[in-house]
Amino acid sequence: QVQLVESGGGVVQPGRSLRLSCEASGFIFTSYTLHWVRQAPGKGLEWVALMSYDGSNTYYADSVKGRFTISRDNSNNTLFLQMNSLRAEDTAMYYCVRGGGQWLLTFYFDSWGQGTLVTVSS
């Protein structure tokens, strides 16, 4: 079945960087758009970034544009999120999620990882 396993979270000081990874299995990796969605403690859900199934398109939420970079390694079925210039407000659980439908750039999410927690604090 579809599995998305995130890693790389932790505690980091403001202004520093962190790189999240998401290992995917159980589906054809290159057929699906993949996203990062985050959830601050006790709060709602916020879409962060996407990379299209073919890697040709990337989009970011305004709150992270210019600081975060999404990428994917199709040979290892892995999605990444490079987070630079981290701020306290970036503190959240970060979920790797799969977009619904093959070969589509969709913004609904049919599979979710369990998340990795990022805490930005001095």
- Residues lying near other proteins in the complex (CB under 8 A): 44-47, 59, 95, 100, 106-115
The minimum distance between CB 14 and other proteins, in angstroms, equals: 26
The minimum distance between CB 122 and other proteins, in angstroms, equals: 27
Q: By C-beta, is 14 or 40 nearer to other proteins?
A: 40
Strands 78-83 and 10-12: unpaired
The minimum distance between CB 48 and other proteins, in angstroms, equals: 10
Ranges of beta strands (E only) in the chain are 3-7, 10-12, 18-25, 34-39, 45-51, 58-60, 68-73, 78-83, 92-99, 109-112, 116-120
Q: By C-beta, is 72 or 98 nearer to other proteins?
A: 98
